Amino acid sequence: MTPQERLTAALARIPYASFLGVRAELKGDELTLVLPYSDHLVGNPLLPALHGGVVAALMELTAITQLAIASKSDKFPKTIDVGFDYLRSGKPVDTYARARVVKIGRRIANVQAEAWQNEREQPIAAMHGHFLVSEEEKAGSGQ
């Protein structure tokens, strides 16, 4: 199975990712999750704007998926805490997210993510979080 196929299968195991319609694009070691626009993702129909929880879920999914890739684990890490900064309204268009693993420690990993729409240089939201990684996952990361 190719890395792209493994990634697609892993995301299919997450019911909320399927509900949102999230898909993954993997180029080398660079992961981008794509949230295709759909009417059911709108939180404020008057603007219209994407629901903040949908944008947050996209970034958290991106963070745990990137961390699973970085630690070479088949298991998704458990979320300890996450913080979100909403920078501008999410328009009714496709949304993209990427994450960067800042550090994988003995038990905790630090990850940052950003979501954007038309231009990556203009993110609509940012996330920082801490995730629990088991000793098995850490052993797979070579640290």
Question: In this predicted model, what pLDDT tens digit does every residue of 32-73 receive, in sequence order?
Answer: 999 999 999 999 999 999 999 999 999 999 999 999 888 887
pTM for the structure as a whole = 0.89
CA distance 60 to 129: 8
Q: Phi-psi category of 28—alpha, beta or left, where left has phi over 0 and alpha has psi -120 to 50?
A: left
Which has more pLDDT, 108 or 9?
108
- Domain range summary for the chain, segments of one domain joined by +: 3-141
Could you give the angle at the alpha carbon of 7 between the alpha carbons of 110 and 114, nearest 5°? 40
Residues ≥6 apart with Cβ < 8 Å to 96: 32, 33, 34, 35, 115, 116, 117, 120
**103 is written with which tokens?**
């550090």
Other C-beta atoms lying within 10 Å of the C-beta of residue 142 = 8
Q: What is the mean pLDDT of residues 17-45?
A: 92
Instruction: State CA 95 to chain mean position distance.
Output: 11
Which fold does the domain 3-141 belong to in CATH? Thiol Ester Dehydrase; Chain A (3.10.129)
Half-sphere exposure of 45 (CA within 13 A, CB side): 3
pLDDT in tens, 77-99: 999 999 999 999 999 999 999 99
> Which sign, positive or negative, has the C-alpha torsion 136, 113, 50, 22?
negative
> What's at 80, amino acid-wise?
I
Q: What confidence score (pLDDT) does residue 59 get?
A: 98
Q: What is the mean pLDDT of residues 98-123?
A: 96
The string over 114-134, giving b where at least 16 C-beta atoms fall within 10 Å of a residue's C-beta and e elsewhere, is bbbbeeeeebbbbbbbbbebe
